[in-house]
């Protein structure tokens, strides 16, 4: 069994359901310490939801860029245990696959990153620049005391990073086919439309906010918000929940509450989207208010030294010509991009993430480690 698989099994056996780290970061810090990494533990949040974070760095004797491996040690809950073929926290092998919660998202990437760093430092102890690890146990949770807090701390230290690989599972059909070089932003709103409650038999004495808001909601749902650009698809608008009424069938509701979300590209800004929504609602002469939540701004890494190094490493190791993509949800890359010029995501196939019987192909583990190591070689030697 390879060093990567042994470390991966150890990580998978730890039930690190968010925000519980279950000792994963301590294990990784212990592996990095003999290489000369200096580790700083950064716990944040209340005792009832304590989030563990780790920042670890190793500087070479020659100047060069800071290359960061970033990821999360927490995993999502398992769901019904009876639906799993094997215990989700007992790594199990079947048909060339390794099954466990977190196998794809994202402990395989973490194990591969650590062993890649070990092999690289052993082969190149006098490397240029700096290698860093940024880990959190709050990526699958609220994401308020994890990477975002570490980035704030790094800003206070005056840190600027050059390149970052986030180990999210980005591959679609086979290892290496997709790199995420950006992500869309997420802007959520809770719209409240006020009417006048009344009896359904006397609608002239009431104002039904559902009826009043319907034309505006139809316009919001069919609007073209932007055309996207070379890297991003067009911005999308989706209603996720509608709430109205008392539960009785003979009462006109006095209030309608609509939850909605924008997944937006760099072709739009939160301010522009908010203003357009307001104009549509005002045009319908509604009595309304919106509580906005900006979940994350979009980020984009154009083709440069990091994308080139990772692409070359993938092709050399697997023969795959990779594609760049910005699809999917948000990730912690949105926080790291505030202090890092180049941020990409790359990891194993994502087909089973968050699912029952989550797994990773065993024969992809060593190639993933080698890709990470080759990328370090390209950037720091």
Domain CATH code at residue 240: 3.30.70.360
- Domain endpoint, select from 296, 319, 343: 296
Among all residues, which ones are annotated catalytic?
74, 139
29 with 153, same domain: the answer is yes
Q: What is the CA radius of gyration of the chain?
A: 24
366 is in an annotated binding site: no
83 is in an annotated binding site: no
289 with 344, same domain: the answer is no
Host domain of residue 228: 185-296
77 with 207, same domain: the answer is no
**What is the reported pLDDT for 143?**
92
30 with 55, same domain: the answer is yes
199 is in an annotated binding site: no
Number of domains, the chain:
2
Largest pairwise CA distance in the chain? 83
219 with 230, same domain: the answer is yes
**What is the reported pLDDT for 296?**
87
**What is the reported pLDDT for 77?**
98
**Cα–Cα distance between 196 and 211 in angstroms, integer?**
12
- Domain endpoint, select from 271, 296, 321: 296
For tokens 């797994």, what's the residue? 359
291 with 313, same domain: the answer is no
Identify any residues that bridge with 259 across adjacent strands, giving them in sequence order.
Answer: 190, 241
189 with 134, same domain: the answer is no
Q: Is 175 exposed, middle or buried (0-12, 13-18, 19+ CB in 10 A)?
A: buried
42 with 176, same domain: the answer is yes
- Cα–chain center distance at 311: 21
- Domain endpoint, select from 278, 296, 314: 296
**What is the reported pLDDT for 200?**
98
Identify any residues that bridge with 251 across adjacent strands, giving them in sequence order.
Answer: 199
What's 10's domain CATH number? 3.40.630.10
Q: Please, which residues have CB within 8 angstroms of residue 319's CB and are 6 or more apart in sequence?
A: none
170 with 248, same domain: the answer is no
Identify any residues that bridge with 344 across adjacent strands, giving them in sequence order.
Answer: 165
**Cα–Cα distance between 227 and 266 in angstroms, integer?**
10
151 with 7, same domain: the answer is yes
111 with 86, same domain: the answer is yes
10 is in an annotated binding site: no
**Global pTM exceeds 0.85:** yes
Successive 10-residue mean pLDDT values, the chain, 381 residues: 97 98 98 98 95 98 97 98 98 98 98 98 98 97 95 96 98 98 96 98 98 98 95 95 97 98 95 98 98 93 96 98 91 95 98 98 98 98 96
**Cα–Cα distance between 250 and 208 in angstroms, integer?**
12
354 is in an annotated binding site: yes
Q: Please, which residues have CB within 8 angstroms of residue 54's CB and are 6 or more apart in sequence?
A: 25, 28, 29, 39, 40, 41, 42, 133, 134, 135, 136
Are the C-beta atoms of residues 16 and 137 closer than 8 Å to each other? yes
**Cα–Cα distance between 308 and 164 in angstroms, integer?**
13
211 with 164, same domain: the answer is no
């Amino acid at each position: 069994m390879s060093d990567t698989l042994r470390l991966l099994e150890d990580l998978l056996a730890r039930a690190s359901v968010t925000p519980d780290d279950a000792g994963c970061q301590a294990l990784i810090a212990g592996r990095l310490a003999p290489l000369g990494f200096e580790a700083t533990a950064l716990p944040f949040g209340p005792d009832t939801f304590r989030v563990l974070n780790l920042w670890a760095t190793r500087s070479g004797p020659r100047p060069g860029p800071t290359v960061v491996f970033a990821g999360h040690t927490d995993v999502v809950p398992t769901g019904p245990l009876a639906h799993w073929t094997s215990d989700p926290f007992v790594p199990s092998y079947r048909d060339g696959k390794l099954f466990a919660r977190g196998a794809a998202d994202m402990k395989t990437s973490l194990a591969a990153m650590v062993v890649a760093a070990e092999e690289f430092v052993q082969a190149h102890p006098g490397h240029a620049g700096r290698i860093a690890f940024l880990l959190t146990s709050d990526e699958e949770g609220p994401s308020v005391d994890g990477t975002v807090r570490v980035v704030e701390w790094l800003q206070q230290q005056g840190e600027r990073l050059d390149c970052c690989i986030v180990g999210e599972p980005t591959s679609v059909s086979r290892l290496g086919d997709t790199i995420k070089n950006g992500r869309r932003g997420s802007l959520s709103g809770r719209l409240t439309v006020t009417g006048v409650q009344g009896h359904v038999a006397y609608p002239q004495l009431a104002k039904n906010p559902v009826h009043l808001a319907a034309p505006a909601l139809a316009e919001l749902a069919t609007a073209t918000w932007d055309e996207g650009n070379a890297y991003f698809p067009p911005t999308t608008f989706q209603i996720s929940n509608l709430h109205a009424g008392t539960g009785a069938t003979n009462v006109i509701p006095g209030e309608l509450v609509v939850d909605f979300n924008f997944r937006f590209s760099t072709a739009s800004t939160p301010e522009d989207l908010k203003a357009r929504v307001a104009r549509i609602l005002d045009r319908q002469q509604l009595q309304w208010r919106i509580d906005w939540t900006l979940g994350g701004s979009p980020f984009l890494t154009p083709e440069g030294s990091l994308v080139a190094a990772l692409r070359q490493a993938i092709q050399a190791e697997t023969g795959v010509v990779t594609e760049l993509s910005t699809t999917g949800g948000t990730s912690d890359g949105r926080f790291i991009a505030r202090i890092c010029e180049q941020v990409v995501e790359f990891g194993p196939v994502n087909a089973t993430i968050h699912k029952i019987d989550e797994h990773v192909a065993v024969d992809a583990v060593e190639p993933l480690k080698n890709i990470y190591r080759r990328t370090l070689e390209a950037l720091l030697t």
